[in-house]
Homo-oligomer: A and B are copies of this chain.
Amino acid sequence: MSIQLTILGYNSATPKVDSHPTAQLLNVNERFILIDCGEGTQVQLRRARAKFSKINHIFISHLHGDHVFGLIGFISTMQLMGKITPLNIFGPEGIKDFILNQLKHTQSKCSYEIIFHELSHKDSRLIFEDNKLEVYNIPLDHRIYCNGYLVKEKPRLKNLNIEAIQAYPEIETCDYFNLKKGKDFVLSSGEIIPNDVLTFPQEEPLSYAFCSDTRYKEDLVDIIKGVDLLYHETTFDKSLGDLAYKTGHSTAEQAATIAKKANVGKLIMGHFSNRYTDLTILLDEARKVFPKTYLPKNLEIVEVKRN
């Protein structure tokens, strides 16, 4: 069980020679999802040696350029590479027209289907699930409609305690799947054998929360409580709290406060204002509140796993 987060870009505003706008590749047990896609993300994916063909789900937080201008290039490249499997794009209402209008003018005929999932609701909901993971949107408070994303491993099937099972000859092989899924067993006598007796305890699924551009938002805490890994933007230091509020961003202290209150495993910072040439002021500020805070590194793979 592991989650691997590759940091493809972590700066705000504009791409520069050694600085890339927001984009992350998340690998949850070999299910790959791309989160945000600033200009140049496809080149960063190449630097990270990512397999483009494995990316079939993209989640865009909001339609500001530093989070989405690389999407059309990625879509086009997938087409040139002969992609066949459908690509699912989750993002704010408008993202479909944003992309389709560009494809229209470039007279592109996609070799694969693009399925748009436009979001406009203001609460947190399950927006995607398959056999490996679940994704929930996290409503954020930015200048325009913006969502973070909470990604949770799907609980795996439980391991059977064969020794315990053998004490009940009535349990047959065809019952095992229900036991693995966590169901109790009912004997013909009516006696209930609790699942815990027949299986080994299961570890908690791993989880990751991506909180893109947002003002300090206390109710994030309930949504992301206990996640193993949290990315929360830290655009400014606390001396610029008013500017952060005005521009729809957070200070390092505010991000760390959310991390602390939600009791997360680890906080990754990002989306730094270009005014900071040295980010330690932001790191120090956050660590005073939440010590397990870390600066992102270009193309770093942050791993969370359980054995």
Residues of A within 8 A of B (CB): 13-17, 39-40, 42-43, 46-47, 63-65, 68-70, 72-73, 76-77, 80, 94-95, 97-98, 101-102, 105-108, 143-144
Find out whether the CB atom of B97 lies under 8 angstroms from the CB atom of A63: no
Q: Among B73, B94, B143, B144, which residue has its beta carbon within 8 angstroms of that of A14?
A: B73
Find out whether the CB atom of B15 lies under 8 angstroms from the CB atom of A80: no
Find out whether the CB atom of B76 lies under 8 angstroms from the CB atom of A69: yes
Q: Among B16, B65, B97, B108, which residue has its beta carbon within 8 angstroms of that of A76?
A: B65
Find out whether the CB atom of A65 lies under 8 angstroms from the CB atom of B106: yes
- Known A-B contacts A14-B73, A17-B46; the reply to A102 vs B102 at CB < 8 A is yes
Q: Among B39, B95, B101, which residue has its beta carbon within 8 angstroms of that of A98?
A: B101
For this chain, the copies found in one complex come to 2
Which residues of B have CB within 8 Å of A101?
97-98, 101-102
Find out whether the CB atom of A46 lies under 8 angstroms from the CB atom of B16: yes
Find out whether the CB atom of A65 lies under 8 angstroms from the CB atom of B14: no
Which residues of B have CB within 8 Å of A47?
17
Q: Among B14, B63, B76, which residue has its beta carbon within 8 angstroms of that of A106?
A: B63
Find out whether the CB atom of A98 lies under 8 angstroms from the CB atom of B105: yes
Q: For the complex, what is the distance from the CA of A73 to the CA of B43, rounded to whole Å?
A: 15
A14-B77, A15-B73, A40-B40 provided; 7 other pairs, C-beta below 8 A? A14-B73, A17-B43, A39-B39, A65-B106, A69-B72, A95-B105, A107-B144
Q: Among B15, B69, B94, B98, which residue has its beta carbon within 8 angstroms of that of A43?
A: B15
Q: For the complex, what is the distance from the CA of A47 to the CA of B93, rounded to whole Å?
A: 36
Q: For the complex, what is the distance from the CA of A98 to the CA of B102, rounded to whole Å?
A: 6
Q: For the complex, what is the distance from the CA of A128 to the CA of B291, rounded to whole Å?
A: 60
Which residues of B have CB within 8 Å of A17?
43, 46-47
Could you list 13 examples of A-B contacts with CB < 8 Å? A14-B42, A14-B73, A15-B40, A15-B42, A39-B73, A63-B106, A63-B107, A64-B107, A69-B72, A69-B76, A94-B105, A95-B105, A97-B105
Q: For the complex, what is the distance from the CA of A15 to the CA of B76, rounded to whole Å?
A: 11
A42 to chain B, nearest CB (A): 7
A108 to chain B, nearest CB (A): 7
Which residues of B have CB within 8 Å of A105?
63, 94-95, 97-98
